[in-house]
Amino acid sequence: MSKLVNWGRWLVAASMGFYIAMGIYDDTLHVLASAHAGHEWIYLLGIAARYSILVALFAAVGWGILNWADWAHGLLTLLMTFGVGIVLYALFIGGRQALNWEVLGSLALYSSTLMWLLIPAVRHTYWQKEKNAMSWLINWGHWLSAAFFAFVGADLLWSAIIRVPVLIREHPQEITYHFVSDAFFWMPMLLCAWGIFKWRLWSRKLGTVLSILSLAMLGILVSIEFQHAGPYRGGLLALALINCSVFVWLLLPVVRAEYLRRDQIA
């Protein structure tokens, strides 16, 4: 059974390579034919983008299948089920006229891939590999999340500190008010970073709330200032992407279970 699982994995990944090659081939022919017919470049770009998305999807699934990713197993099972259904529907509607070697080959490839994916030993292997890989996701996400909140908190703290001379010079009577109000922004961030680093259960809830607030503020900032941000656009988008990653990591069930376990030990 182990040979069936291993060899089947390589054959399925090879079929993904076949789909990628056919997608690139069809994309090239379609674009050339459309260009020869005199279509505008925006139409040609749309065709290329559509095929590129499909090629990228099959490349990601092939990579996931080779690396024992459980999400790739689930996604490919869905795609192959959909493919078998489409081919059978085409045969049912078209009858003998739709019966050709291309259709039969597609049906054989889709159905054999689907049967391999549904073998209990294959499903169990992918689930077990994914379970072992979750420790990597938990540990790296733990460091990334702590570093993110520490960076944002330190940046807000530094901004509050460098404002002090200006406040002393222009608004000396309001310095306490401004510094305390600024503390409501940087202090929770630094506290959350410390809690995440120490695996405190409360820090996961605090981090989730702070991530939502940060995403909302970044969304407002990007919508208002993105056109004038200039060289800072990349930084804003990178910060938003990291924030989204931290937010998703905090909501993962395995992360929640790990925080519960660590908190009970502590």
Instruction: Enter the tokens of residue 141.
Output: 């996400």
What length does the chain have?
Answer: 266
Q: Can you give the C-alpha Rg of the chain in angstroms? A: 26
pTM beyond 0.75: no
Closest by CA position to 4, among listed 143, 112, 148, 139: 112
Which residue is associated with the tokens 């530094």?
Answer: 158
Domain boundaries, given as residue ranges, for the chain:
2-129, 130-265
Count other Cβ atoms within 10 Å, centred on residue 246.
24
C-alpha pair distances (Å), 195 with each of 125, 143, 146, 185: 35, 12, 8, 16
Q: In a 3-state reduction of DSSP, which class is residue 172? A: helix
Q: Give the whole-angstrom CA distance, residue 84 versus residue 91.
A: 11
Q: What are phi and psi of 76, to 5 degrees?
A: -70, -35
Closest by CA position to 24, among listed 62, 56, 46: 56
Q: In a 3-state reduction of DSSP, which class is residue 119? A: coil
- Mean pLDDT in each 10-residue stretch from start to end of the chain (266 residues)? 78 84 80 78 72 80 81 83 82 72 79 87 73 68 89 85 73 66 84 90 90 80 58 65 84 81 66
Q: In a 3-state reduction of DSSP, which class is residue 230? A: helix
C-alpha pair distances (Å), 21 with each of 76, 97, 213: 18, 27, 44
- The stretches of the chain forming alpha helices (DSSP H) are 2-36, 41-66, 70-94, 101-117, 120-162, 164-170, 175-197, 201-225, 233-251, 253-265
